Chain A
Amino acid sequence: MTNEQLIEHLSKAYPDEVALQGNQYPEITVSREILHAFMQNMKSDSNLSFDYLVCESGVDYPAFLQVVYHLESTTHKHFLVVKSNTENRETPALDSVSDIWPTAEFHEDEIFDLLGIKFNNHPHLRRLFLDETWGFPLRKDFYDDIHVVER
């Protein structure tokens, strides 16, 4: 599908969520309650069939934390950017999509490690790069008094 057709299809299917054309690819921001069902639909719908999760990144915004999913379809060759925000920064939690795309398991481990977002129904959430003495370094307000020396 072309970008316009994709945005139209998504707007019809999910009128509550905002689907628009970003700088390069169509973007849609999905609320966290329907995130898992939405992703499941993205993969299983034969018109969309987004079977390749290219990248899953976590972003830190002042009021909330956001997870950005880049999805691509190997059959239809279209691309979609899905975003989902957490409720707040103190107890961020989202649904895991690792049962839909196995690669998400490890991207989510990394996001948990560096940003602190907990993923529900994740098989084995663990800190990938760092150990327990670190906070969540990728957050903007990260201050480490153990490992960083200020002059």
Chain B
Amino acid sequence: MAEIIEKFITGDEIKTDEYLVNMGPQHPSTHGVLRLLVKLEGEIVHNVEPHIGYIHSGIEKMTEALSYPQVIHLTDRMDYLSAHMNNEAVCLCIENALQVEVPERVKYIRTIFDELQRLASHQLWWCASGMDLGALTAFFYGLRDREDILDIFEETCGARLTLNYSVPGGVMFDIHPDFQRKVKEFVKKFKKKIPEYDKLLTGNIIFQNRTKGVGILSKEDAIAFGVTGPTGRASGFSCDIRKHHPYSAYPYIKFDEKLGTDGDSFMRWKLRMDEMRESLHIIEQLIDNIPEGDYGVKMKAVIKLPEGEFYQRVETARGEFGVYIISDGKKNPYRIKFRSPGFSNLFAINHIAKGWKIADLVAIMATFDLVIPDIDR
């Protein structure tokens, strides 16, 4: 009897089984079609294996049969929440390859659209993550405010999500006459909303208990796994392409690159809220100073890149997006490779989720801000 009790106390002889739980592919909190095979022991996560490919459309293969302007239309659909930034990356790559200098007006317009898109993406992230953690009302508040940005987009580009606005050489149409006024109004209005978002979630003690100290990603791990964007910056990895390799109108403005130290979920959350404030700051610097001029340079009807390889990096809302074009001088690219931020970010989750509970896995997934078509391409 004594031996039985002793074994019970030390727990050595007690065999517990691990069991597999499937999160997804249809799941409200994986933000897309992602299947996570979670190996659990009780409530503790031992291993997370992501299975992707549910929305793999073969975009890279498709581009080999399309012309360069047609490729841009496909890039919208990858990370659809940073659609304009994807467009811009391909346009910049083509323009750098052909050594075309775009007018200043185009640079300003592109950057303002980038930052508006970043705001819209972070708002959607905020409301969806709030919903994942249980604050269902947050979903409606974020979407309500995001409608203003989408209305601005619709006036100029005709589309709300897949903007399709940048073309090699400039932008497709000039901005709408009401654009500047509306953006200024929006900035004024949204400045008051961010403190409201903070009060609702970031300052809430339940929320802080759910995210503080959860899923710590160290700086070395962030660099080793290639985790960029706000997720990587929260761990201290300084990777903002807008600062290190500025493009478009970013050399003309001043803004801070926010870095975190802890690398836990709370830091990632706070960093995105700070990035929203920085985006507002950037828009304010640019919106009044849009230079007059052409909204595009006349390019040849058939664009042929010179032979060689070209790599362009852009900072999307999720991280570093890279476009690698290998051209053999023809009008179709030989090979285009898209370096998507979500792909590298996703596989760091297994490393940091070990030892936490399922509810923490949801908090980690929420703060990583993944968009699955970005990963699957």
User: Which residues of A line the B interface, CB within 8 A?
Assistant: 22-25, 51-55, 57, 59-60, 68, 70, 74, 77, 81, 101-103, 105-107, 110, 114, 128-130, 137-138, 140, 142
Contact = CB atoms under 8 A, between A and B. Distances in A.
5 contacts: A74-B238, A102-B224, A103-B226, A103-B344, A129-B52
A74 B347 CA distance: 20
B52 A55 contact: no
Nearest to B51: A128
B68 interface: no
A18 to B, nearest CB: 15
Given A103-B226, A137-B61, 10 more contacts: A23-B310, A25-B311, A54-B320, A55-B337, A59-B326, A68-B324, A81-B309, A101-B224, A102-B347, A129-B52
Given A74-B238, A77-B244, A130-B53, A103 B347 contact: yes
Nearest to A109: B347
Nearest to B308: A23
B347 A130 contact: no
Interface in B201-241: 223-226, 237-239
A138 B225 CA distance: 25
- Most chain B CB within 10 A, of A55, A74, A102, is at A55
Contacts of A23: 97, 308-310
B322 A55 contact: yes
A105 B225 CA distance: 10
B118 to A, nearest CB: 21
A70 B324 contact: yes
B369 interface: no
Contacts of B64: 140
B58 interface: yes
A129 B55 CA distance: 9
A23 B324 CA distance: 12
Interface-centre pick from B60, B239, B337 (highest chain A CB count, 10 A): B337
A137 B53 CA distance: 14
A137 B311 CA distance: 23
Contacts of A128: 52-53
B347 A105 contact: yes
Interface of B: 52-53, 56, 58, 60-61, 64, 96-97, 223-226, 237-239, 244, 308-311, 313, 320, 322, 324, 326, 334-335, 337, 339, 343-344, 347, 351, 376
Contacts of A24: 96, 310-311
A22 B308 contact: yes
Nearest to B336: A57
A55 B237 CA distance: 17
A57 B313 CA distance: 15
A137 B58 contact: yes
Contacts of B225: 102-103
Contacts of B311: 24-25, 55, 70, 81
B339 A103 contact: no
A67 to B, nearest CB: 11
A16 to B, nearest CB: 22
Most B-side CB within 10 Å, residue of A101, A103, A130: A103
B2 to A, nearest CB: 45
Contacts of A106: 343-344, 347
A22 B309 contact: yes
Contacts of B310: 23-24
B320 A129 contact: no
